[in-house]
Amino acid sequence: MRHLLALALGCVASAQIPCFDTLFGTAIGAGDDVVLPMQAIGFPFPFAGNTYTHVHVSTNGFLYLSNAGIPAPGNALCCNGTPDRLVTGSPKICALLDNLIVIAAQGSFVWLNSGPTACTITWDNVKEYGNNIPFDLQCRLLPDGQVRFTYHGEAGVRLGGDALVGVSPAGGAAIPAANDLSVGGGTALATCYQVFDNFTRPFDLAGVALTFTPNGAGWNWSPGHCLATSAPYGHGCVAVTNTFYEDFAPGTIDLAGTSMRLTRSANGYTASVGTATWVAPPTNAQQLSLFDDWEQHVVLAQAMPVTDTTTTFLTVCSNGFVSVGSGNSTQPTPAPVSLLSMGRTVFASWHDYDPSAPGGGKVWFHQANGFAWVTWDGVADAQVTGPGNWFQFRFELATGNVDYVWGSLSGLGNGHLVGFHPGGISQDGGSIDLSARLPATVSVPNEQVVPLRLEILSASNGGVPPRLGATTYLYTQNVPLGAPFGALWLGFTDPDLDLTPVGMPGCRQYVDPLASVTFLPVQRLGTSTFAVPIDPVFVGAVLLAQSFVYSPAHGLTPLGAVAANGLRMTIGW
């Protein structure tokens, strides 16, 4: 795959943004607040109406221009970069005029690589004085007068004081208004700059190659990105959630006078139109001591199967839901994101009710003939004057089947959230229209199926984006257990094809593959690698990836294969 990848990258390399020159040349010195010995550029460099043959490089991230020392360079300009320093003294080119330190004992040097076609100055592994984060800067001078600054991704202004990026013929030139160099632009003036600090003007050129091109007396500038990045796009398949719900906006619930049954099996629950009817609480029913946003436990007459376990009690929340245990909160505002993350199995007709409202109804619990009922009997909507609400849950203790029965509903107050969640973290299958769907059925398994996900792990977890010379690890996650093999595809175009015709409904193809490699999953993870050649010409190339897993035993698609999302990677530093 490495050979195919190198060929494919070569097809697009000529169009990429030039970034770091990896040929640093010769180390010319190190130190703190030092202007290093004069160096020949290698060609007459045109700059602001004159030409110059030599540079005097400061360890503080800038250089002076001269012709064999004329005009004479100034000092190292400790300890920050300001516009008045830019325009004072000899002509200056400032990659990052800041309080930098170049420590030879820590492998930090200033390098120069000069010749007839380019002169490149590199501040390698430098740090801001008083800060311990190293980074690289590079300044490249070209015979046509172009100046290019390149910043590694760690470059930044993290300490007090200003730092400056810019160019000026100096000699007492007027100070113009600052520019925004992070977006392309131009000026008719020979002095062009931007000032940064770590408060209101953060450094925003990390990972950027910033090119200044002469436009007569002034400059045009254009930033290009050099940092290695990755970002997912599209979606994996196949997703099967173990939760369902309908999210009703205030005043829109349409379930009054209906019922819904959840039929439990060893594999999960199936929702269908119910046949249960309203049962009024008998005289011996237990009135629950529920205040506003409150909960109370009730004990069942026998153990009842639920999800993949059994329970001998239920927890009733005043806000219209019944849980298998406490811990699901008592918040009054129904929200899908909250339902999907509740830790306990929950049966919900969730709304902000107040059983303690003066003159309103109560919540009752009673059991008879193998059933248990939890009933909201005319309970008031919280902080709303109205007729109240009648609905109940009926639990069949031997089977675990559950009936939701809605009588009269006021439609007042906040919204409603009706559905079922088995506990834990569930995927969001979206709100469904229960009144439209339940002439058929809605099935939710005990175990959800999470789609394949392809990603490069974060740097904090050891992940490396596609950097030159590095090996990138791509991880296919959520692989079905026991899947025999998978494949990673790499390419440069996204066809975004529906794979239903080939037997993969719900899946899409996001890569036209130029290279592919198989992998053998370990548990639920498949690992693929590719090495990026050490060649700056590849920087900026965009590479697409997608993985597929063959797992016919799980029956997720007719073909037996499932697909991950796409991953868009930009090759860089």
Confidence of residue 460 (pLDDT cuts 50, 70, 90): low
Residue 187 CA to residue 57 CA, distance in Å, equals 26
On whether residue 141 sits in a domain, the answer given is yes
Answer whether residue 154 shows pLDDT above 90.
Answer: no
Percent of the chain exceeding pLDDT 90 equals 84
Residue 11 inside a domain? The answer is no
Give the residue ranges of DSSP H helices in 274-379: 336-339
Residue with tokens 């950097």: 467
Asked whether the predicted pLDDT for residue 292 surpasses 70, the reply is yes
3-class secondary-structure state, position 217: coil
Contact (Cβ atoms closer than 8 angstroms) between residue 86 and residue 94: yes
Does 4 fall in a domain? no
pLDDT digits (tens, 9 = 90+) for 3-48: 445 544 544 443 445 678 878 999 999 999 999 999 999 999 999 9
Look at 256-260, 407-411, 567-571 and tell me which has the smallest mean pLDDT. Answer: 567-571
**Co-location of 192 and 108 in the same domain:** yes
Of 72 and 470, the structure prediction assigns the larger pLDDT to 72
Separation between Cα atoms, residue 309 and residue 305, nearest integer Å: 6
DSSP at 68: T
Residue at a domain's end among 172, 194, 223: 223
pLDDT, position 469: 80
CA distances (Å), 410 to each of 328, 390, 391, in order?
25, 9, 11
Structure tokens at 8: 């494919």
pTM: 0.63
Q: What is the CATH number for 526? A: 2.60.40.10
Q: Answer for the pair 209, 554: CB distance below 8 angstroms, yes or no.
A: no
- Would the pLDDT of 458 be above 80? no
| In a shared domain, residues 25 and 77 | yes
The domain boundary residue, chosen from 188, 223, 258: 223
Q: How many residues does the chain have?
A: 573
Report whether 297 contacts 326 (CB < 8 A): yes
Q: Which residues make beta-bridge pairs with 114?
A: 119
Q: How far apart are CA 567 and CA 457, in angstroms?
A: 12
Both tokens of 76, joined, read: 């190292």
How many Å apart are CA 254 and CA 458, to the nearest integer?
46
Q: Distance from CA of residue 166 to its chain's centroid?
A: 33
Q: What is the pLDDT of residue 4?
A: 42
Residue 202 and residue 157 in contact, taking contact as beta carbons nearer than 8 Å: yes
Are 264 and 377 members of one domain? yes
Look at residue 7 and tell me if it is in a domain: no
Domain assignment present for residue 6? The answer is: no
3-state secondary structure 323-346: ECCCCCCCCCCCCHHHHCCCCCCE
Residues 150 and 74 in one domain: yes
Model pLDDT for residues 125-151, shown as the tens digit of each residue: 999 999 999 999 999 999 999 999 999
Q: Are 88 and 196 contained in the same domain?
A: yes
Query: Do both 392 and 463 map to the same domain?
Result: no
Q: What is the mean pLDDT of the chain?
A: 93
Number of domains in the chain: 3
* Same domain flag for 163 and 87: yes
CA distance 452 to 19: 35
In a domain, 139, yes or no: yes
Burial class (CB in 10 A: 0-12, 13-18, 19+), 183: exposed
Burial environment of residue 161 by CB neighbours within 10 A (0 to 12, 13 to 18, 19 or more)? middle
Which pLDDT does position 517 carry in this prediction? Answer: 93
* Boundaries of domain holding 321: 244-445
Residue 1 lies in a domain: no
Task: For 479-542, give the secondary structure using H, E and C.
Answer: CCCCCCEEEEEEECCCCCEECHHHCCCCCEECCCEEEEEEECCECCEEEEEEECCCCHHHCCCE
Q: Which tokens go with 177?
A: 């208004």
Is there a domain that residue 126 lies in?
Answer: yes
- pLDDT greater at residue 462 or residue 495: 495
Closest CA to 291 of 235, 239, 356: 356
Residues 181 and 248 placed together within one structural domain of the fold: no
User: CA-CA distances (angstroms) from residue 241 to 430, 451, 553?
Assistant: 10, 10, 19
Do the beta carbons of residue 94 and residue 193 sit within 8 Å? Answer: yes
Residue tagged 């036209």 (tokens): 512
Beta-bridge partners for 349: 418
Which of 411, 445, 479 is at the close of a domain? 445
Nearest to 126 by CA among 140, 113, 139, 144: 139
Count Cα atoms within 13 angstroms, Cβ side, for 554.
Answer: 21
Other Cβ atoms less than 10 A from the Cβ of 441: the count is 12
Sign for the CA dihedral angle at 24, 28, 31, 33 comes to: negative
State pLDDT tens for residues 69-85: 999 999 999 999 999 99
Residues 210 and 83 in one domain: yes
pLDDT score for 435: 95
- pLDDT of 186 > 60? The answer is yes
Comparing C-alpha atoms, which of 516, 248, 276 is closest to residue 401? 276
Residue 463 in 3-state DSSP? coil
pLDDT surpassing 60 at residue 194: yes
Residue showing tokens 């294969």: 561
State yes or no: pLDDT of 464 exceeds 90. Answer: no
Q: Are residues 200 and 269 in the same domain?
A: no
Confidence of residue 1 (pLDDT cuts 50, 70, 90): very low
Same domain, 441 and 471: no
CB 167 within 8 Å of CB 192: yes
Answer for the pair 504, 563: CB distance below 8 angstroms, yes or no.
Answer: yes
Contact 380/360 with Cβ under 8 angstroms?
A: yes
Co-location of 335 and 463 in the same domain: no
Look up residue 188 and give its two tokens. Answer: 């008719």
Report pLDDT digits (tens) over 526-571. 999 888 887 767 877 889 999 999 999 988 999 999 999 999 998 8
